[in-house]
Amino acid sequence: MFFGHLLDTGSSLFEPFDRLQRELEQIMNAGLRGSDVVTGYPPINIGTTPDAVHVYVFASGLDPASIDVELQQNVLSIEAERKTGEPKENETVALRERFNGRFRRVLTLPDDVDPDQVSATYRNGVLHIRAAKKAEARTRHIEVQS
């Protein structure tokens, strides 16, 4: 079997694409090294419907004014900053799992996205970016006549 070696090692057919995405993010963010920008955070879900691509960014505690969303040649860039406050005087922090600081995520959207039809909303800690597909790329139902 041609793909047998992938199945035997427990490797996923999508693993090379996942690795490529991580490497591209590292390259895109290379100019940010040495700064206080975190990459790979926050978690993101991406899905499609017949008429749009939906990106969900799970990052609670953001000021919507601090969120910067840009789309250039199908490359979606999301950058923001979360400030959680400093410990009070005479307070020692024993454990802090909540991220504090700047982050940036870079994603490549499909070619059929219409760059003039992108919207973003932030509610309940979730940033939802909706990128409509170009009209010619949408699936059309064709009724069969008898």
Domains and CATH numbers, the chain: 36-137 (2.60.40.790)
Backbone region of residue 47 per phi and psi (left: phi > 0; alpha: psi in -120 to 50; beta: other values): beta
**Nearest C-alpha neighbor of 58 from the set 122, 4, 140:** 122
Residue 77 structure tokens: 């860039």
pTM over 0.75: no
- Sequential pLDDT tens for the chain (146 residues): 344 444 444 556 677 777 777 766 666 555 544 455 555 678 999 999 989 999 999 998 888 999 999 999 989 999 998 877 777 888 887 777 777 788 899 999 998 899 999 999 999 999 999 999 998 877 777 889 88
Q: What is the pLDDT of residue 3?
A: 41
Separation in Å, CA 131 to CA 12, 45, 104 = 28, 14, 19
